[in-house]
Structure 1
């Protein structure tokens, strides 16, 4: 927007995307054995701190604060951070595995969808305790995916939805471990089966 750096700042965003954004090529390089290159491994998380515009960052920040507050109150701050990071990595893995486009992945939305996954799990537990239908917990993600489908049909699909779904699944899975009593409850359910 020209608020910082003057004319020399024109290439800053592009430079940051080139250094810290994630793409399927990054996963390909890691799978080929380039584990020693920390700059590649850093991209599995660093992309979440880059945004395409001020509006993109503001919406992400508002969603992160709202969902982080709820999940943090239920699970604690450390567990909420762990879910966010796991979802960010899960979103990158899904994007790297299934996206065929060379467009880079950036933005914190896969991590935010991971917090939606944790919210879904916590709601699922609460509905189970009250004896209600647990499928109601999945209404939020169902509505969000329907909205993304609608926007994709109207304005063209963006492959970043793959990372969002990967983040949701990773956040849902991480919440089963990081929720209060989650690891013990998960172990008990597995033993019962």
Structure 2
């Protein structure tokens, strides 16, 4: 009897690749972000959603001494601490959250496969905090809240470019199998800049965010401007923290 799993020459036919080959961690995080925004948009009454923003969005104004001392802000002292991270789970619109999930699916996937769950989550947390800190310094006392995972996702981009464009990397000219592509030793940052793809990506990324900073009108019909300083803070934190979190041994120096 013929084996239906074998081709005519007796070999196994190649297996089809799944259309969406994402780590479970990225799928779960994406579902959480979309789910939270769906609940806010379709379930919570407006007054409850407003209270959610007061308690979990990042508001620079709440750190003014006179505002902090009043003790009147919803959530009190602890809200002022957790909002450095919780703002990343809130978004301004479905367009906002879907774009962030898309970029996380691309660059966060590469980093999650390299770091593993615990390292990836801690890396994302610290870089989200760094993004909020950068925005606080540049917008001290601002009464406009900041929401969105863009700072952490900017850090995912910064971390991923340290290896994805290398020869054999996931986005390299020649791609190695997954077991190797995501475990390539990262080159030192100065050496990585010699890769035109890495250098071009960084220049384009900072150029786009500079455009966001110079553009005074909210983009794409959104009701709020883009907090580009938080993006930059997250990106720089990602560059600095990548070698601290990277579990793959660095390339040895070759003496000539």
Q: 1:18 aligns with which of 24, 49, 54?
A: 54
Alpha-carbon distance in structure 1 between the residues aligned to 2:138 and 2:231: 12
Q: Which has the higher helix share?
A: 1
TM-score (norm 2): 0.59
Residues 25-53 of structure 1 deviation map (CA, whole Å, 9 limit, x = unaligned): 34456xx899x922211101000000011
Higher RCO (CA < 8 A, seq sep 6+): 1
Number of aligned residue pairs: give it.
Answer: 179
**Alignment match, 1:180:** 247
Alignment partner of 1:59 is 2:99: yes
Could you tell me whether the CA contact under 8 Å between 2:162 and 2:187 is conserved in 1?
no
**Alignment match, 1:122:** 163
Could you tell me whether the CA contact under 8 Å between 1:83 and 1:178 is conserved in 2?
yes
Could you tell me whether the CA contact under 8 Å between 1:84 and 1:111 is conserved in 2?
yes
Residues 50-106 of structure 1 deviation map (CA, whole Å, 9 limit, x = unaligned): 001111111111211221111112222222212111110000111111124321111
Alpha-carbon distance in structure 2 between the residues aligned to 1:152 and 1:95: 12
Alpha-carbon distance in structure 1 between the residues aligned to 2:248 and 2:232: 26
Structure 1 unaligned blocks of 5 or more: none
> How do 1:1-193 and structure 2 match up within 5 A?
4-5=42-43, 9-28=45-64, 37-100=77-140, 101-122=142-163, 126=186, 133-134=194-195, 136-154=197-215, 156=217, 158=225, 160-181=227-248
Residues 85-140 of structure 1 deviation map (CA, whole Å, 9 limit, x = unaligned): 111000011111112432111100001011112113335864569x7715752432
Residues 120-167 of structure 1 deviation map (CA, whole Å, 9 limit, x = unaligned): 3335864569x7715752432321222233355455374611111001
Could you tell me whether the CA contact under 8 Å between 1:50 and 1:107 is conserved in 2?
yes
Structure number with larger C-alpha Rg:
2
Structure 2 unaligned blocks of 5 or more: 1-37, 167-184, 219-224
- Calculate the aligned-residue CA RMSD, in Å: 3.4
